[in-house]
Every structure is written in C-alpha cells, then in structure tokens.
C-alpha cells in the first residue's frame, strides 16, 4: 500500500483562477483591443467616406457654377445658379466660399480668394474665417474670338458636416462592435459551459460509483479531454492491478503456505512425540527439508508480488542487458549453485540497451537460471544479444526442456509440468512472464539446433 | 404702463442719401441708465414695431439696459462689413430683415455661436449654425385701398395683380407701388426670391414696366400712400407694417398672395467681439420665449391672436441658409438691378 508522507492532501485540490474568469479576461482584452482598432479604422473609414461624399457635392457645385459662366463682350459673365448653393446647403451648417477667375487671373465674382495655380484642378485644404475648409478648383476652357483660356472656379466649404458624418459613422461602428462584443461574451459563456459539460459528466460518473469499482470510465468524451480520461483510466488500472496483486499475494500465501505449514506442524508434533531418537532425527531432517522449501516458496511469492508492484511503480531506466545477465549469474552463483555446476555467459562486445527496472530483470534472469539448473541439464548458458530492434536475454541448457504441450500454460501459476519438482513452488516462470509483460516484452520457449531447450526474454530495444 | 418702463426714446431722424458716413436713422433706450448690462442692438427694423418686446424684456430683465439703433438695411450691412473686418466696434446684437445680408455676414465668420433651450427648439430653417436665429414670422403681402378699388378688382394672388397691370384702360397705370430694390435690402431680397420661386416673375416685371409701377422706399411710406389713395395697390410689402396700419384704418386691406407667400424670419446674430454676448443671448431667448412672442405679436411680427398664421400650404418660409448668398453675388445682383433699371427708367 502506498504510504503518504507528511500531512494528507485535502480532498478538494487548491483552486486556481476559474476558466470562466480566464475566458472573460481574455475576451475583455480582445474586445478592448479590437474595439480600439475598429474605432480607429471606423474613424479613418468615416473620414474617407465623408470626404468622398462632400467632395462630390463640392465638385458638383463648382461644375454648375462653371457651367453658368459665359463670355459676354470680351468678359466673363456668371449667372450664379441657386441649385449649386442648394447642393452645398446639403451640408447645412457649413459656410461657403467661392470665386470665379477670368483667364487673365482677375476675380469675376465671389470672394477675394488667392488665384489657384494655372492648370491646377482638384481639391485642397485651407482655412475660411478661422475654420478648416475644403476647396475645389475646376476649370472651364473658352476659345472665343475675344476671350480664350481657362475660367477657374474655386468653391470651398467648412468641414463641420464632414466631421459630423465621420463621427456618426464611427459611433455606429462602435455600437455594432459593442453589440458584437456582448454577443461574443454570451457565446463564450455558453461555450465555456458546454465545453466543461463532459468534465461534469465524468465527475458524476465517478462520484456515482461504488468504492470498489475501478473499471475504466466508459462515458463518451470529446477528443480534447480523452487524454484526461485516458490518464484517469490508466491510473485506475494501476490501482486495480496493485490491489489485484495484493489479493493474489494474499491468496497465494494462504493457499500455498497453509498446507506446508500445517504439514510442518504435524511433523513437529510427531517429532515431539517420537521416543526413538533415531527416528526423531529422521523426522527433524524432513522438517528441515520442508522448511527450506517453504522458505523458497515464501521468497518467490514475495518476489512475484514485489515485481508486479515494481512494474507499475518504479520508473524504467536505460540499462545494459549484459549487466543484468552478469548480476544475475553472480547472485545465482552465490545463492543457487552450491553444486558449482557449469554456467556459461555469452555476451556480445557491444552494449545491449533497453528500458527497464534492473532489479526485476535480474530477478527474472535468476528465475530462468534456477529453472534451468533445477530441471534442465548442464551446462547452462546465459546469452544476451540485440536483434531486429529487440534486446534478448536467453537461458539455454543441454536438456530437452519441458514438453511442447506445456509451453502455452507454463507461465500460469501452480502449473506443474513434467520435471517440476516438489521443491519448486512453480512460480518461477510466472514471475518471468510478469516481468516481460511489465516491460512490454514477451517470454518465448524454443530449441536450439542441437536440441537444447532455450527460454528467451525478449524486450523492446532502444537505439544505441 | 409701457411709458413707465420706457426710460427714454429718442427718434433722431438723419438725412439719408447725402450722408457720407451711414449711421442710425433713430435711437431708443430701454431700461435703467445704471443697469449692470448695457447692450447695443443695431437693427434694420422699425423702433415702434419692436418697442413692446423691448419694454417687456427690460421689465423682466432689470439688469439689462438696451440701446436700440434703427438702421437702413443696406447701411447696416455696409457698417457691419466694416466692423467685422475689425475696423470698427461691433454691437452686442445685430437684427435685420434683410436676412440674405445677415447670412452673408455670418458666412463671413462675423458671428459667434449661442446655444440655449430656446435656440435648440428652433426649426432648422430658422437656426443656422447656432449663430443666426430667425426671430419673427413676417409674410410679404399685397396692400390695397378698399375704398378706392372696385370689389371685383381686389387681387388675391400674383395672377390677379398681373391682370390689373395688363388692363388696357390704364386705371392702374402709375398707381401701383413696390419697393425700390436698389435702395431697400428687403425689397431686393423679395425680388430675388420671386425671381427664383416662380415663372410669374418675368411677366410681373415686364408688366411693372408697362403699367409704370412706382418703385419707392420704404414700407411705411408706401403703406401710408396707399392709405391716402396715392397708390391703389402695393406689392411685396413686409406684412407687419401694413397690418399695424390696417388695424386702425379699415380702408387698408392686407392680402397674403394665395399662389405663394414668402415668409421672412428676421435674423439676429451676436457678433464676434460683442462686449456682452450673455445679455444679448438673453434678449434672443426672451424673443423666442412665450412672453417675447406675445410682445412681438402685438405689432404683428409673429402670429398672434389678431394675426393667425398663414396656411402652410401656400407659405414659403425663407430659410436661413447659404442659398441666400446667391442673391448677393455681385454679378447676380448686377443682372437683377440691370433688369430693374430697364423696367423703371424714370426712377433713375
């Protein structure tokens, strides 16, 4: 069971700024910046539109005045059209200034304006009585016997209406932006709610479960939070496996230890009641043998549980499979090979890297060695090699190995194939298989060319 | 009661025409001599026509004293043109019936804006730029002498007037009068507006010449001459002058032409550089208020109990707008005056 160091964490985690507040903040920033941008753009557009609209009025009025000019007795006569001024009066609050220049540059009628550059036609900005004003110059060419050349008409108007129109357009644009902003805010609030709805569904699904239910969450969720449910499911799976391992350990222990201990006790009682010292010694010898077997069984049970626990709990690190083999043979020598049977190591020159937990792998290797020595025929060879992206650790003995029909369930606990002695608890291959699975690898059985039995632990390799 | 408020009314008739320096024709003073806010109003107006309004104003605004100068329209325009150029002191308020001249002065940046609830309530044609305000509502009318004109001849429109002018019997030859548009700004304005309002103008001016219509000055003189029987009909007379006299003289008939009636709103503005624009604005507000309108209605300057407003269908209010600048264009004016001179050679 995992232990908790220090004070227990509260059940409700500390809260950071709410998503809605973050969204609102980001949106407010966006709208403020967007609003400023739109205001600037709208004002620029409004000014452009107002300029275009009122420039047309101005040039229309100037053309009408130009059309009303006529040569008479060698001079220019102007019959100022009312319609031209009605046109200008469409900007109702603006003052009007105008002048008509004869070809010789003298003012025919109108205000004392400076004469425009000969040949210049178009708009310019100026000032009329202390107010900014917009002017247009338009020419009309005469080619009469006594009068020829351009008559220039200048019409100007103050810019109050233009400013008002530009302001008007800007205000309308800003009202639209404000409305759009409100709409966006409402949509964002709605989006936040509906986006978080799957989380609430998961919350309800988890909250509604019985405490022992550790099955994966089946609630359908959008892709965006599938990662979260995936992580959650994997987390629960780990807890589930650990609790299963715990259950297995307890079950194994109760099942496997109870009988030998009961037998041991019976033997001990027998020994206590045996008056004949010789027979009593024989019974004590059996008690000793049974104790050794029981000790090994307890070892294996605990190892199995430890390895299954480590497979989930200990981070994998990069290691060299050759070192695993060396450590395993070294420890096996000490622990198992009292008989000093033949043991060979066949290691390549180069590193065979893989990701894994060294302790589990060493334990697995030791189990294979133990099996080979116990049930196989010496000499035993431990080989390590890298092949086709895999790192392989194989243990080979000179015997025929277990029959092929036992291979499929050899890793099942308590499987007792031919040649499995009473001294083994039958957990060795189950441990190796658990280690292989925990490392995303596999356990394989086979025969060499010479008919030697070989058990291989294949792990995914890593690039050197 | 009115006399009690009237502090002093001086009518100083000045010789017109020969005077090199144009000046006021008359001056009147209203309010206490030591009032905190003495203001000067220069107006192209008849002092008696505005006297009731001024008396009511100083009665309700004891801190203000008003010096009112009565000017001829053209003289006032010339004097204000000089004053606005900075060459002479400006008054606190300028009022003129020649609204085209007023528009021109405002257009030439002579006025300062004034905004109040009263000016904001004015319709757009009576408020230009918050600088020029239309104070009154005065129709251009025809006046005839009931005692001398056969009932069947009474004109109701310009078409009727044309018929009288074209009569072969010569009864009306030399007995119909109108403004001399060269000497009277308001006469010129009416003639200019007639020229752009209707096609009857050409026929009218031609008939004026044939019937030897008398062009003379000014409103009061013309109406008095109709009352005396010197003229039978007068055309384009500013309504209030005729209505005031018709109220006491049953022989005088005032007709608002039924084809169309020009309605003039006398324009007022506060010049830039006025010494007391606040008091001048208060006077404008007073004239636009209900008591001010009642006082103006006494002399028929606005519609009132004895002076119902004209049928809107036939009225053509003269808007305070830059369109009026056209009439003051020197070439336009020269053309209209040339036409006038051809029509009235004997007045020259």
Question: For B159-188, how does the pLDDT look when each residue is reduced to its tens digit (9 = 90+)?
Answer: 999 998 888 887 888 889 998 888 888 889
CA distance B298 to B304: 7
| Res A217: pLDDT | 81
Q: Same domain for B333 and B191?
A: yes
Q: Do A82 and B196 touch (CB under 8 A)?
A: yes
A242 pLDDT higher than 80:
no
- Strand partners of residue A150: A141
Q: Do B331 and A131 touch (CB under 8 A)?
A: no
Q: Same domain for A243 and A345?
A: no
Q: Say how far residue B119 (Cα) sits from the centre of its chain.
A: 21
Closest CA to B198 of B94, B316, B309, B87: B316
Q: Same domain for B130 and B28?
A: yes
The pLDDT of B31-45, averaged and rounded, is 93
B12 pLDDT higher than 50:
no
Which range has highest mean pLDDT (A39-48, A328-337, B16-25, B48-57)?
B48-57
Q: Same domain for A81 and A191?
A: yes
The pLDDT of A51-71, averaged and rounded, is 94
* Chain length of chain A: 464
Three-class secondary structure of residue A104 per DSSP: coil
Which range has highest mean pLDDT (A171-175, A311-315, A386-390, B296-300)?
B296-300
A160 CB neighbours in chain B (<8 A) are 129
Per-residue pLDDT band for B348 (boundaries 50, 70, 90) equals very low
Three-class secondary structure of residue B297 per DSSP: helix
Of the residues A279, A313, A347, the one at which a domain ends:
A313
A5 inside domain:
no
- Give the range among A52-56, A141-145, B328-332 with minimum mean pLDDT: A141-145
A85 CB neighbours in chain B (<8 A) are 321-323, 325-326
Residues B6, B33 contacting (CB under 8 angstroms): no
Q: Are strands A343-346 and A380-387 parallel, antiparallel or unpaired?
A: parallel
Name the residue range of residue A420's domain: 316-464
Three-class secondary structure of residue B280 per DSSP: helix
| Res A3: pLDDT | 45
| Res A426: pLDDT | 61
Q: Same domain for A183 and A217?
A: no
Q: Same domain for A381 and A458?
A: yes
List the single residue in A with minimal CA-CA distance to B108. A129
Q: Same domain for B231 and B336?
A: yes
Q: Same domain for B243 and B212?
A: yes
| Res B123: pLDDT | 94
Of the residues A282, A313, A344, the one at which a domain ends:
A313
Q: Same domain for A375 and A411?
A: yes
Per-residue pLDDT band for B18 (boundaries 50, 70, 90) equals very low
List the single residue in A with minimal CA-CA distance to B125. A92
- Residue in B331, B332, B333, B337 to test binding to A, most A beta-carbons within 10 Å: B331
The CATH code of the domain that includes A370 is 3.30.565.10
B248 touching A, CB under 8 A?
Answer: no
Measured CA distances, A16 to A19, A20, A102, B20 (Å): 9, 11, 80, 91
Residues A160, A166, A172: CA angle, nearest 5 degrees = 135
Which residue would you say has higher pLDDT here, B80 or A308?
Answer: B80
The pLDDT of B307-330, averaged and rounded, is 87
Q: For A366-420, what is each residue's pLDDT tens digit?
A: 888 888 877 777 788 888 988 888 889 888 888 887 777 777 777 765 544 433 3
| Res A336: pLDDT | 59
Per-residue pLDDT band for A334 (boundaries 50, 70, 90) equals low
CA distance B158 to B151: 17
CA distance A199 to B16: 98
The pLDDT of B140-154, averaged and rounded, is 91
A308 inside domain:
yes
Per-residue pLDDT band for B129 (boundaries 50, 70, 90) equals very high
The average confidence (pLDDT) of chain A is 83
CA distance B306 to B244: 11
- Give the range among A17-26, A119-128, B99-108, B235-244 with minimum mean pLDDT: A17-26
Per-residue pLDDT band for B51 (boundaries 50, 70, 90) equals very high
Per-residue pLDDT band for B2 (boundaries 50, 70, 90) equals very low
Which range has highest mean pLDDT (A29-43, A78-92, A210-224)?
A78-92
B96 pLDDT higher than 50:
yes
Q: Same domain for A244 and A133?
A: no
How many domains would you assign to chain A? 3
A11 pLDDT higher than 80:
no
Closest CA to B70 of B99, B104, B109, B42: B42
Q: Same domain for B156 and B25?
A: no
The average confidence (pLDDT) of chain B is 87
CA distance A66 to B253: 46
Measured CA distances, A131 to A134, A159, A326, B130 (Å): 10, 8, 99, 15
Q: Same domain for A69 and A173?
A: yes
| Res A23: pLDDT | 78
| Res B84: pLDDT | 92
B3 pLDDT higher than 50:
no
A89 CB neighbours in chain B (<8 A) are 321-323
CB atoms within 10 A of CB A461: 19
- Give the range among A201-210, B26-35, B269-278 with minimum mean pLDDT: A201-210
Closest CA to B343 of B217, B221, B214, B232: B214
A71 inside domain:
yes
- Give the range among A123-137, A249-263, A386-400, B318-332 with minimum mean pLDDT: A249-263
A145 pLDDT higher than 90:
no
Which residue would you say has higher pLDDT here, A185 or B59?
Answer: B59
Residues A376, A422 contacting (CB under 8 angstroms): no
- A304 Cβ contact list (under 8 Å, min separation 6): A248, A249, A252, A427, A430, A431, A434
Which residue would you say has higher pLDDT here, A333 or A33?
Answer: A33
B106 touching A, CB under 8 A?
Answer: yes
Q: Do A85 and B330 touch (CB under 8 A)?
A: no
List the single residue in A96, A128, A160 with the smallest CB-CB distance to B325: A96
Q: What is the DSSP letter of A53?
A: H
Which H or E run contains A131?
A: strand A131-143
Q: Same domain for B6 and B117?
A: yes
The CATH code of the domain that includes B116 is 3.40.190.10
A12 inside domain:
no
Angle separating helix axes A223-252 and A277-313, nearest 10 degrees: 180
A70 touching B, CB under 8 A?
Answer: no
Q: Say how far residue A201 (Cα) sits from the centre of its chain.
A: 21
Report the first-to-last Cα separation within chain A, whole angstroms: 37
Q: Same domain for B202 and B301?
A: no
CA distance B132 to B125: 10
Q: Are strands B176-179 and B233-238 parallel, antiparallel or unpaired?
A: parallel
Q: Same domain for A80 and A103?
A: yes
The pLDDT of A114-130, averaged and rounded, is 90
Three-class secondary structure of residue B36 per DSSP: coil
A12 pLDDT higher than 80:
no
Q: Same domain for A125 and A229?
A: no
How many domains would you assign to chain B? 2
Q: Same domain for B116 and B9?
A: yes
Per-residue pLDDT band for A185 (boundaries 50, 70, 90) equals confident
A13 inside domain:
no
Which residue would you say has higher pLDDT here, B216 or B9?
Answer: B216
A138 pLDDT higher than 90:
yes
Angle separating helix axes B47-60 and B290-298, nearest 10 degrees: 150
Q: What percent of chain B has pLDDT over 70?
A: 92
Q: What is the DSSP letter of B201?
A: H
Q: Same domain for B198 and B251?
A: yes
Q: Same domain for B342 and B252?
A: yes
| Cβ-defined contacts of B239-242 (< 8 Å, 24+) | B239/B138, B239/B139, B239/B140, B239/B141, B239/B300, B240/B49, B240/B136, B240/B138, B240/B299, B240/B300, B240/B301, B241/B46, B241/B49, B242/B141, B242/B143
A3 inside domain:
no
| Res A136: pLDDT | 96
The pLDDT of B49-74, averaged and rounded, is 94
B310 pLDDT higher than 60:
yes
- The Cα of B3 is separated from the nearest Cα of chain A by a number of Å equal to 42
Residues A353, A462 contacting (CB under 8 angstroms): yes
A4 inside domain:
no
Q: What is the DSSP letter of A345?
A: E
Buried-exposed string A38-60: b where 16+ CB fall within 10 A, e elsewhere: beeebbeebbebbbeebbebbbb
Q: Same domain for A294 and A354?
A: no
Closest CA to B321 of B115, B43, B94, B99: B99
- B124 Cβ contact list (under 8 Å, min separation 6): A92, B319
Per-residue pLDDT band for A423 (boundaries 50, 70, 90) equals very low
| Res B297: pLDDT | 93
Q: Same domain for A168 and A42?
A: yes
A34 inside domain:
yes
Q: Same domain for A150 and A219?
A: no
Which H or E run contains B235?
A: strand B233-238
B335 CB neighbours in chain A (<8 A) are 79
| Res A10: pLDDT | 60
Name the residue range of residue B34's domain: 2-137+265-317
Three-class secondary structure of residue B141 per DSSP: strand
What sections of B150-274 are H helices per DSSP? 158-165, 185-197, 200-210, 219-228, 239-248
- B106 Cβ contact list (under 8 Å, min separation 6): A95, B128, B129, B131, B132, B269
Q: Same domain for B157 and B199?
A: yes
Residues A109, A100 contacting (CB under 8 angstroms): yes
| Res A173: pLDDT | 85
| Res B108: pLDDT | 94
Which residue would you say has higher pLDDT here, A306 or B134?
Answer: B134
Of the residues A139, A173, A208, the one at which a domain ends:
A208
Q: For A300-324, what is each residue's pLDDT tens digit?
A: 777 777 777 777 677 788 888 888 8
Q: Same domain for B54 and B110?
A: yes
Per-residue pLDDT band for B7 (boundaries 50, 70, 90) equals very low
The pLDDT of B196-213, averaged and rounded, is 84
């Amino acid at each position: 069971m995992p232990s908790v160091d220090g004070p227990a964490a509260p059940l409700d985690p500390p809260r950071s700024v709410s998503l809605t507040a973050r969204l609102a903040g980001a949106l407010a920033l966006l709208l403020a910046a967007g609003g400023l941008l739109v205001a600037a753009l709208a004002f620029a557009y409004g000014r452009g539109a107002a300029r275009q609209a009122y420039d047309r009025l101005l040039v229309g009025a100037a053309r009408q005045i130009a059309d009303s000019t006529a040569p008479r007795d060698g001079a220019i006569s102007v019959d100022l059209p009312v319609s031209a001024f009605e046109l200008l009066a469409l900007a109702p609050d603006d003052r009007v200034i105008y002048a008509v220049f004869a070809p010789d540059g003298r003012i025919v009628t109108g205000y004392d304006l400076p004469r425009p550059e000969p040949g210049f036609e178009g708009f310019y900005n100026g000032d009329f009585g202390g107010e900014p004003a917009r002017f247009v110059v338009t020419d009309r060419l005469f080619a009469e016997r006594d009068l020829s050349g351009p008559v220039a008409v200048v019409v100007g108007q103050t810019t109050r209406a233009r400013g008002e129109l530009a302001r008007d357009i800007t205000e309308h644009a800003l009202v639209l932006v404000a409305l759009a902003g409100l709409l966006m805010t409402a949509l964002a609030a709605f989006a936040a709610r509906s986006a978080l709805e799957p989380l609430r569904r998961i919350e309800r699904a988890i909250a509604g479960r019985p405490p022992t239910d550790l099955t994966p969450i089946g609630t359908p969720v959008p892709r965006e939070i599938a990662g979260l449910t995936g992580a959650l499911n994997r987390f629960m799976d780990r807890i589930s496996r650990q609790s299963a391992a715990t259950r297995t350990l307890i079950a194994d222990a109760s099942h496997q230890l109870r009988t030998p201990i009961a037998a041991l006790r019976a033997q001990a009682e027998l020994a206590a009641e045996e008056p004949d010292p010789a027979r009593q010694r024989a019974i004590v010898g059996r008690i000793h043998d049974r104790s050794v077997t029981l000790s090994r069984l307890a070892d294996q049970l605990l190892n199995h549980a430890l390895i299954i626990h480590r497979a989930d709990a200990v981070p994998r690190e990069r290691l060299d499979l050759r070192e695993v083999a060396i450590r395993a043979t070294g420890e096996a020598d000490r622990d198992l090979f009292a008989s000093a049977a033949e043991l060979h190591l066949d290691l390549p020159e180069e590193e065979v890297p893989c990701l894994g937990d060294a302790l589990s792998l060493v334990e697995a290797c030791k189990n294979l060695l133990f099996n080979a020595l116990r049930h196989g025929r010496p000499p035993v060879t431990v080989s390590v090699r890298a092949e086709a992206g895999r790192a392989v650790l194989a243990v080979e003995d000179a015997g025929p190995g277990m029959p092929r029909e036992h291979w499929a369930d050899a890793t099942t606990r308590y499987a007792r194939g031919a040649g499995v002695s009473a001294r083994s608890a039958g957990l060795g291959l189950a441990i190796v298989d658990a280690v292989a699975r925990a490392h995303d690898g596999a356990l394989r059985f086979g025969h060499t060319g010479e008919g030697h039995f070989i058990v291989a632990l294949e792990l995914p390799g890593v690039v050197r | 009661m009115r006399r009690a408020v009237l502090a002093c009314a001086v009518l100083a008739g000045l010789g017109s025409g020969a005077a090199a320096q144009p000046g006021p024709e008359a001056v009147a003073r209203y309010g206490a001599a030591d009032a905190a806010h003495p203001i000067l109003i220069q107006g192209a107006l008849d002092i008696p026509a505005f006297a009731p309004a001024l008396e009511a104003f100083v009665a309700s605004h004891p801190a203000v004293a008003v010096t009112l100068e009565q000017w001829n329209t053209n003289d006032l325009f010339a004097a204000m043109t000089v004053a606005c150029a900075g060459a002479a002191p400006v008054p606190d308020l300028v009022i003129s019936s020649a609204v085209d001249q007023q528009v021109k002065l405002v257009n030439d940046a002579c006025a300062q804006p004034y905004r109040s609830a009263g000016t904001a309530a004015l319709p757009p044609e009576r408020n230009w730029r918050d600088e020029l305000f239309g104070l009154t509502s005065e129709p251009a009318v025809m006046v005839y002498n009931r005692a001398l004109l056969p009932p069947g001849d009474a004109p109701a429109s310009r078409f009727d007037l044309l018929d009288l002018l074209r009569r072969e019997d010569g009864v009306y030859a030399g007995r119909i009068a109108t403004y001399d548009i060269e000497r009277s700004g308001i006469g010129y304005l009416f003639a200019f507006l007639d020229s752009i309002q209707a096609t009857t103008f050409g026929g009218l001016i031609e008939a004026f010449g044939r019937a030897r219509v008398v062009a003379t000055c000014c409103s009061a003189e013309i109406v008095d001459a109709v009352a005396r029987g010197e003229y039978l009909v007068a055309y384009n007379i500013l309504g209030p002058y005729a209505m005031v006299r018709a109220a006491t003289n049953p022989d005088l008939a005032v007709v608002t032409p039924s084809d169309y009636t020009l309605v003039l709103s006398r324009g007022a503005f506060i010049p830039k550089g006025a010494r007391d624009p606040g008091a001048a604005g208060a006077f404008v507000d007073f004239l636009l208020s209900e008591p001010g309108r009642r006082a103006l209605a006494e002399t028929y300057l606005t519609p009132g109990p004895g002076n119902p407003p004209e049928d809107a269908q036939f009225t053509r209010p003269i808007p305070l707008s830059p369109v009026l600048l056209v009439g003051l264009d020197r070439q336009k004016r020269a053309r209209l005056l040339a036409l006038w001179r051809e029509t009235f050679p004997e007045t020259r």
